[in-house]
Amino acid sequence: MPINQMTATEVANRVINKNELFILDVRNQSEFKDWKIEGENIEVFNSPYFDLLDGVEEVMVHIPTDREVLVVCAKEGSSVLIAEMLYEAGLTAVSYLKGGMKAWSEHLEPVKIGDLDKGGSIYQFVRLGKGCLSYMVVTNGEAAVIDSTRMTDVYIDFADHIGAQITHVLDTHLHADHISGGRQIAEKTNATYWLPPKDATEVTFEYQPLEGGNVVTIGNTAIDIQALYSPGHTIGSTSFVVDHKYLLSGDILFIDSIGRPDLAGLAEDWVGDLRETLYRRYRELSDELIVLPSHFMIIEELNNDGSVAKKLGTLFAENHGLNIADDKEFRSMVTGNLPPQPNAYQEIRETNMGKITPDNEQQREMEIGPNRCAVR
């Protein structure tokens, strides 16, 4: 009997809806420890593939018989074999993850955040397997895409589905943890590509400079995306206030943490900019703005509908990184709590500058692993 497969979309729905699922992850222990599928009612057990080739009897004692079981590996092949062995050992409700963790890393789940005051909507694309968040602002048949991933067809197809033409593509900063699809989307749709010029001193392509005070207008209903210069994660980091209602904070401010200032090797230089942005520029904004970051760190940051969003006033009250009064303590906390650098972050930066052009498989390998843009 052929073993059932489960797609990344199906797994994402289970994570968002908090459905029960037991996962047997057969990757190596180091890969598993670094990065795995997580969710409120997701239980994960790791047993490396090579330990199971002689039989699955020993691992069966760890696998429940009253829940669906999903076998996961890096690319798919190993999980198919182990799922077949589990089935033959008497486990009937077993599936494997189609495309493996590579497919999970690339899945984007669109979630509607809300409506705009003058008509239109804003959508968040949640990349559960990587912690990346990107956005589409839509009004009157026009759309702007912000902080897109390299899976460009997802945005283009989504815009087509809702009857919108992508006219603007924006990046809040030069990304170091994932490859931006901004330039490619702009080329495919004839849209204008915007990039903060202070982050673009080494790029090899043409772009529209995005500076503080710029206003990008979407559709003839005049939905404005107002740029707010907010350095600290990078020297050019720029936030966007959309429709006077939403704050797209890039990698400066997250729900449970704040941005790291060291991905260009300048932590000591940029930590002051980070504090200035978080403790002065953001304090001047309305507490009612809904913060929409470009990443999330932990699955608990997701709301019940799968979105990642909270009011700025709530973050000022709850986010530890926004409540350190002493400047020296802030600097020590930021520079002393930096996680490991993102996988292949230098190559990712060079790709986003246009200096190198890795093929699709190389890009996938460069992005494998968790997002590491925050100070925790």
97 vs 193: CA distance, rounded Å: 36
> Rounded to a whole number, what is the distance in angstroms from the first to the last CA of the chain?
47
Residue 1 has pLDDT above 70, yes or no: no
| Catalytic entry in 52, 73, 218, 255 | 73
Catalytic status, residue 73: yes
**pLDDT for 121:** 94
Q: pLDDT per residue over 316-328, tens digit each?
A: 999 999 999 999 9
Lowest mean pLDDT: which of 99-103, 119-123, 256-260, 283-287? 256-260
- Compute the average pLDDT of residues 203-217: 91
What average pLDDT does the structure give for the chain?
Answer: 92
Q: CA angle 233-209-113, nearest 5°?
A: 60
For the four alpha carbons of 330, 331, 334 and 337, in that order, the dihedral sign comes to negative
- DSSP single-letter state for residue 322: G
Position 142 confidence tier, pLDDT thresholds 50, 70, 90:
very high
CATH 3.40.630.30 for the 108-375 domain, yes or no: no
Superfamily (CATH H level) for 4-104: Rhodanese-like domain (3.40.250.10)
Q: Give the pLDDT of residue 264.
A: 60
In this structure, what are the phi and psi dihedrals at residue 11, rounded to the nearest 5 degrees? -65, -40
The pLDDT tens digits for 221-230 are: 556 778 899 9
Q: What is the pLDDT of residue 223?
A: 62
pLDDT of residue 206: 94
DSSP helix/strand/coil, 83: helix
CA atoms within 13 A on the CB side of 330: 22
Contacts 24+ apart (CB under 8 A), 308-316: 308/124, 308/126, 308/133, 308/255, 309/113, 309/124, 309/255, 310/255, 311/287, 312/247, 312/282, 312/285, 312/286, 312/287, 312/288, 313/287, 313/288, 315/253, 315/255, 315/291, 316/283, 316/287
Vertex 333 angle, CA 331 and 338, to 5° = 105
- Across residues 278-283, what is the average pLDDT? 95
User: 184-202, pLDDT tens digit by residue?
Assistant: 999 999 999 999 999 999 9
Does 374 score more than 90 pLDDT?
no
Residue 177 three-state SS: coil
Q: Yes or no: say if 353 and 203 are a contact pair by the CB < 8 Å rule.
A: yes
Cα–Cα distance for residue pair 154/149, rounded to 1 Å: 9
Which pLDDT score, from 0 to 100, does residue 266 have?
Answer: 61
Q: Does residue 334 register a pLDDT over 90?
A: no
Q: Is the pLDDT of residue 141 over 80?
A: yes
Domains of the chain by residue range: 4-104, 108-375
pLDDT digits (tens, 9 = 90+) for 83-135: 999 999 999 899 999 999 999 999 999 999 999 988 899 999 999 999 999 99
Percentage of the chain beyond pLDDT 70 is: 95
**For 10-19, 43-52, 126-135, 255-264, which range has the lowest pLDDT when averaged over its residues?**
255-264
Residue with the larger pLDDT of the pair 64 and 370: 64
Q: For residues 80 and 66, what is the distance between their CA atoms, to the nearest angstrom?
A: 21
Calpha distance 144→167 (Å, rounded) = 6
- 151: DSSP letter: -
Is residue 291 very low, low, confident or very high in pLDDT (cuts 50, 70, 90)? very high
Is the separation of the CB atoms in 204 and 355 below 8 Å? yes
| Cα atoms in the Cβ-side hemisphere of radius 13 Å centred on 271 | 18
What pLDDT digit, counting tens, does each position of 143-173 carry?
Answer: 999 999 999 999 999 999 999 999 999 999 9
More confident residue, 223 or 174: 174
Give the pTM. Answer: 0.93
